[in-house]
Amino acid sequence: MNHSDIRTRYAPSPTGYLHVGGLRTALYNYLFARHHSGKLILRVEDTDRTRLVEGAVENFIDVFHWLGIEFDESPKIGGPYGPYVQSERLDLYSVKIRELAASGFAYPCFCSSETLDKMRADQEALKRPPMYDKRCRKLSKSEADEKIASGSPHVWRMKVPDHETIHIHDLIRGDVQFESHTIDDQVLLKSDGYPTYHLANVVDDHEMRISHVIRGEEWLPSTPKHVLLYRFFGWAPPQFAHLPLLLNPDRSKMSKLSGDVAVEAYREKGILPETLLNFVALLGWHPQDEREFFTLEELVKEFSLERVNKAGAVFDMQKLRWMNGEYIAKKSSDDIWESVCALLPEELESVATERVRFAVESLRAGAETCADIRDKVGEAYSAQGDIPEFSEQQFAFLNSTLEGFAHIETPLWNRFEEIGAKFKEIANASGKANALQGKQLWMTLRLALTGREHGPELAKLVAMWGREETMNRLSAALSARTASERAS
């Protein structure tokens, strides 16, 4: 096969958000296709009409664009093998079911849901795996045709051959085999005319010339059904590669019930797109050396299915945060501002942009996520806490500080060194005038301005606020003392 013939696909169901497991599947398909100069296709598998979520497809596309993963063919872009939404391909599946029925590889099933429920309960009571008992398979063609003609509701099932071993070569797991008596006569076309996943994905993968099916391990048990369908149609199957499970730190499966598993959640936490791609790429794949940091272009160059593990990969949130902190530390001021800006609360809209930007740059040190920076900025602009009772010496110092700041020109946001020098000048003068010294002076000023004992460097805080806000806070602290004296 020529590299240009390699075609992979990511085929999500629009039933909600993009799971990190889905992201890894899409990423590995992308890396494999790009490594071999092939193409990546986005196909929407929306045949389960009961679970559709409005806007899910648009969300997928937006998230992939944010991550920098672009498709060659998709519902939005189009392409030579469209449409790329399964609900728009129903006529094709009907044609293919008729072909299977005509060649004896599919049959109609007229069993009601009540019959199937009882069948399943009886099998479970006998501790047998629940499977269709093939009763409608025994109907003659004339009996089945008569029922169809009379309008009896029915589905179409595949006719799994008896007493056969089905061999599959998986590019990650090697040779795998299944016995046909363990494979259910799967429903292929539902009574509403919509195909199940098994029929639609096989037909579409063939029609869209997919060369490699790279998907999660949970689909491995379904693969013999798919291999049989390829044989029934007389088609050559694609090559299969089933990826290892994603695990929680306790080694349990990372499912949709495991907490934050949506890519959107990590975006909202302030994880950078390049961090997330780098981290997810290493969940089950290992490079040739001990490197941990890769650009997307470097991942494309290095990636191979031969280096994908069989064992499950643990999703370590602490490592993701650490890796993101390393990326943040290397980011330019412009890039960090762009990443944090979208996360900032509406309350900061009234603050001059240059001041907020200065705050972001001043408070980014040591942050592991952009949300950490956002929270620090929000705290810096939060209202004063409770003002403590100040002594005479403290009151005098605060008065001197207020008077000193009246002579500083605005803006202050880019002059924090001058502010620091002014603080020291006032502190030195106050230290000579009363018993307050060193840390006592700085703590007094911090408590007056913020109501808290700890926080960012005071000079930078004042630079973030500007003269007017700083003087308002000092005046409020002094007013609180005056009001307290009047009350007493």
| Partners of 8 in beta bridges | 40
Return the number of other C-beta atoms located less than 10 Å from residue 223's C-beta.
19
- Annotated active-site residue in 76, 118, 256, 319: 256
Please check whether residue 196 is in contact with residue 16, taking contact to mean a CB–CB distance below 8 angstroms: no
Please check whether residue 75 is in contact with residue 84, taking contact to mean a CB–CB distance below 8 angstroms: yes
Report how far residue 321's alpha carbon sits from residue 338's, in angstroms, rounded to the nearest whole number: 19
Closest listed residue to residue 188, CA positions, set 94, 272, 121, 256: 94
Contacts of 298 (CB under 8 A, 6+ apart): none
Report how far residue 265's alpha carbon sits from residue 288's, in angstroms, rounded to the nearest whole number: 31
Please check whether residue 210 is in contact with residue 7, taking contact to mean a CB–CB distance below 8 angstroms: yes
Let me know how many helices (H) and strands (E) the chain has, helices first: 19, 11
Going 293 to 30 to 268 to 255, the CA torsion angle's sign is negative
Report how far residue 93's alpha carbon sits from residue 107's, in angstroms, rounded to the nearest whole number: 15
Residue 256 known to be catalytic? yes
Structure tokens, 480:
């609180």
Report how far residue 157's alpha carbon sits from residue 136's, in angstroms, rounded to the nearest whole number: 9
Please check whether residue 138 is in contact with residue 129, taking contact to mean a CB–CB distance below 8 angstroms: no
Structure tokens, 44:
């929407």
b/e per residue 231-240 (b: at least 16 CB within 10 A) = ebbeeebbeb
Positions marked active-site: 256
